[in-house]
Structure 1
Amino acid sequence: MSRFRGFECYRVDEDLELASGLAAGFIGVVAVHYSDAYRRLDSTGLTAESLGPGNHAVGVQDLRIQRGELQYDSFNSHGRSYGQDGCNWISWRRHLAESVRYHAFYLIRSASADPQADNPPVPKR
């Protein structure tokens, strides 16, 4: 049996596909190229440009339009001390345009709990 199961998942290859899925309530999983630049955020929380083949998976949970471009609210495995309460904003052009050529990006609406993790208890009825 697999450890994780996604019940409604779609692969995305383009900026507007990712934006549409997030607007419809999905969570995204994408690859970014984590570098020294990726750790720098501007005053709006946008991460400095960091294009590359991708070396780190992150989740995306929301979107906004700022500076004339779609930007995605990203969360990662670096904890809440990273960025702004554990999150940062990324864009397709500045962060994802290169890594999408090497990795599959997904939208996931629902998934199973990790059977090996410390999941919250299931309420008794």
Structure 2
Amino acid sequence: MDPDPSMTRSVQVEPLDHVRPGACLLRPRGPFHARTGIELMAVIDGRRAHALDLLILDLTEPGTFGPVALQIVVQIAMELRRVGVGLRLVGSEPAVGSLLTVAGVRSLFTLHGTVGEALDNLGAR
């Protein structure tokens, strides 16, 4: 039996083409570690082959955002910016926003409290 293409070992993938062509939602699951970063990049590369235009990265699961995740998310943001793909982060201000601010990278991101907020006004990046 083939594995579910909507889930890697540590990343849930939800294409959002029904909302906006080229949009995709990624939800890391469990502790965020190097393998999570590798899986995220593999999913992003695969989605880019199918005209990825906007990535929404949901970091609301408890324990998903720490120093390792910060480094990986910054790398993802830089790569997506380089290739012209929009990025919206979903996470709480205390858990995600404060770490982005302390690290001095807050200006790289638009942070939304919920996936619903990130989906609002999808025409804007």
Please give the range of the TM-score, normalised by the shorter of the 2 chains. under 0.3
- TM-score, structure 2 normalization: 0.27
- TM-score, structure 1 normalization: 0.27
Larger proportion of helix: 2
**Structure with the larger RCO, 1 or 2 (CA within 8 Å, 6+ apart):** 1
